[in-house]
Structure 1
Amino acid sequence: MDRLSPLQLFLAAAEAGSFSAAARRLNLGPVQASATIARLERELGVRLFERSTRRLRLTEAGERWLPHARQLVAAWADGRAALSEGADRPLSGHLRVSLPSDIGRQHLWRWIEEFATAESPGELRLELRLSDRLADLVQEPVDYAVRYGEPPDSSLIALPLAPGNRRVLCASPAYLARRGRPRTPADLREHDCLRFVLGESVHGRWRFESVQGGASAVEVSGSRVADDGGLVREWALAGLGVAYKSRLDVATDLAAGRLVALLPGWIGEPAPLHWMSVGRHQLTPALRRLAENLRVRCDHLTPIAGEQEPAKGA
């Protein structure tokens, strides 16, 4: 524990940008905290922080040490959990998860809260970060991420939440009354398409598969681009254009008639949803139960859109 305490203090100071704030978080005195970091720096032979009167920040060596310190502290916590974790042990401790913005705000936060309340009331500290940017689970202060698409890193373990989910082209009744319906993917060139940032670039090439066989890809354009999937959905609801969204994101809007699914003879791009973790050691029985609970809820959410894909050859 004497070896672990300086690492915990280092992580707290890096996150808070202040020795005094980190010391308060860990119930230490500021002098003791400063001396502990100085001792850690001597042991490592590098300077971890640049001190100033305005703010504490990591040096280049501190930035390199940060992910390793996180892994060491996480490995200790995982090891303790492995010794005490039983199949029926509830979620507990500090759970930090990155969620996609749209389905995160609409559904996932509530589903996680309901699961935690039912299984471990009062035993869980939950920290959620909503972003459509793929979280780096080593560099960033999160333990898990829920993301669309296949894991970009082979070191990540992915539990499927909605493996068969796809994108669906949709627009509001008001937009369709004003601009008409596209009948083929090529017609989208004549429409205002609501594009979003996917990774580091704008997702402006939309791909579809025909139920008759074959595929089509079209470069779309429009007056609005966002890096937040929830905002793209709000624009579509406001009648500002055509959106190409995950079916999970727009399921309730399709069911309520606020949005209308388009191109019934075409199938949208795959958009599988996964719960991602750095390693299997983090996937405790409780975490697997949570992921399974989310998978079942995703299964129940999609059918409420009230439509099925046409059969091949229809």
Structure 2
Amino acid sequence: MLRFDDLQLFVRTADLGNLSAAARRLDISPAVASAGLKRLERQLEVRLFNRSTRSLRLTPEGELFLGHARLALQSLDDGRQQLAGSRVGISGPLQLSAPSDFGRNTLLPWLDEFQLAHPQLQLRLLLGDRVSDLFRDPVDIALRYGAPDDSSLVALPIATGNRRVLCAAPSYLARHGEPQTPEELAGHNCLLYMLGGRVHERWRFQDGKREQSVNVTGDRCSDDADVARRWAVAGFGLVYKSWLDVAGDVQAGRLKVLMTQWQGESTPLNLICAHRAQLSKPVHLLREFVQARCADLLARAPWAT
């Protein structure tokens, strides 16, 4: 089995280009360093460095192994930090992306509560309906509706039973009446928003095994889904939104769910990250916390009663 100190010596020697300098940095004698490097080469059955009296440079095999050695040391260090974190609580930055409406009006107070319980955690929240590039954008994880388009991303379920609901403000319904069927939406002003640059104008409903899709129109459209919800609350028309986005407005009486005999399309909420190495203890705790809060809202959904 490869020894941790031998791997550490190898990486430090490669970084410094000098075995004696690496020995001094690790506070060991040159003889111990030389023996450790020879032991590692013997175990790997390759020569890692080309040595001369004046220079020390990596062999092709050494360059190939260097990346693996760095990853192994980093993984061990991450494990050590997680163990330390489990004893003293969670801390450090956590960069999170979330949809505009869910983030502002539902998630934000939850995050206040979560950070109050973990005061050493530094939250960085990015809100928007544009899908974040988790390989390039400055985020660790994202909360997103639906499965990711990129199958290489890791998706963990948060609220699998979430659905869209058709809503309107009491003031709008007093003027225009309530639609009873999807066909009647043609006679109403439907408030639209764009997802990924595409207008979300095809609304889908299900009545038992019967499914129906309708193309709707309206005089307002925004690239921010929160704006569409605000227009609906102000009484400008109908909105077709995730239950998690509008549950607070419905419970407060600002919006009313319509056509409850028709179920809206499934809109699961997932936690997305680029790779499983990002599923740290803070991420797991945040996922469990948000999952529990979403479950409370889903228990009060129209289809759950």
Regarding TM over 0.5, the answer is yes
Structure 2 counterpart of 1:151, which letter?
A: P
1:292 corresponds in structure 2 to 288
The yes-or-no answer on 1:203 pairing with 2:197 is: no
Q: What secondary structure is seen at the aligned counterpart in 1 of 2:86?
A: coil
| Structure with bigger gyration radius | 2
2:59 corresponds in structure 1 to none
The yes-or-no answer on 1:102 pairing with 2:97 is: no
Q: 1:74 to 1:97 in 2, by over 3 A?
A: farther
The yes-or-no answer on 1:183 pairing with 2:180 is: yes
2:298 corresponds in structure 1 to 302
Q: What secondary structure is seen at the aligned counterpart in 2 of 1:193?
A: coil
CA RMSD of aligned residues (A): 2.5
Q: What secondary structure is seen at the aligned counterpart in 2 of 1:234?
A: helix
Q: Distance in 2 between matches of 1:251 and 1:98?
A: 21
TM-score by length of 1: 0.70
1:261 corresponds in structure 2 to 257
Q: Distance in 1 between matches of 2:234 and 2:188?
A: 15
2:213 corresponds in structure 1 to 217
TM-superposed deviation, 1:77: 7.0
1:92 corresponds in structure 2 to 91
2:189 corresponds in structure 1 to 192
1:45 corresponds in structure 2 to none
Q: Distance in 2 between matches of 1:292 and 1:76?
A: 29
TM-superposed deviation, 1:109: 2.5
The yes-or-no answer on 1:138 pairing with 2:138 is: no
Correspondence for 2:233 among 237, 241, 244: 237
Residues 298 and 304 of structure 2 are in contact (CA less than 8 Å); yes or no, is this contact kept in structure 1?
A: no
Q: 1:74 to 1:153 in 2, by over 3 A?
A: farther
Q: What secondary structure is seen at the aligned counterpart in 2 of 1:85?
A: helix
Q: 1:96 to 1:286 in 2, by over 3 A?
A: closer
Structure 1 counterpart of 2:164, which letter?
A: R
Structure 1 counterpart of 2:159, which letter?
A: A
1:40 corresponds in structure 2 to none
TM-superposed deviation, 1:303: 3.2
TM-superposed deviation, 1:76: 8.5
Share of identical aligned residues, percent? 46
- Counting matched residue pairs gives 238
The yes-or-no answer on 1:277 pairing with 2:276 is: no
Q: 1:74 to 1:235 in 2, by over 3 A?
A: farther
Residues 197 and 223 of structure 2 are in contact (CA less than 8 Å); yes or no, is this contact kept in structure 1?
A: no
**Unaligned stretches of 5+ in structure 1?**
5-72
Residues 93 and 122 of structure 2 are in contact (CA less than 8 Å); yes or no, is this contact kept in structure 1?
A: yes
Q: 1:281 to 1:294 in 2, by over 3 A?
A: same
Residues 260 and 303 of structure 2 are in contact (CA less than 8 Å); yes or no, is this contact kept in structure 1?
A: no
**Unaligned stretches of 5+ in structure 2?**
1-10, 16-69
Q: Distance in 2 between matches of 1:240 and 1:224?
A: 9
Q: Distance in 2 between matches of 1:200 and 1:178?
A: 32
TM-score by length of 2: 0.72
Structure 1 counterpart of 2:86, which letter?
A: D
Q: 1:78 to 1:197 in 2, by over 3 A?
A: farther
Structure 2 counterpart of 1:139, which letter?
A: R
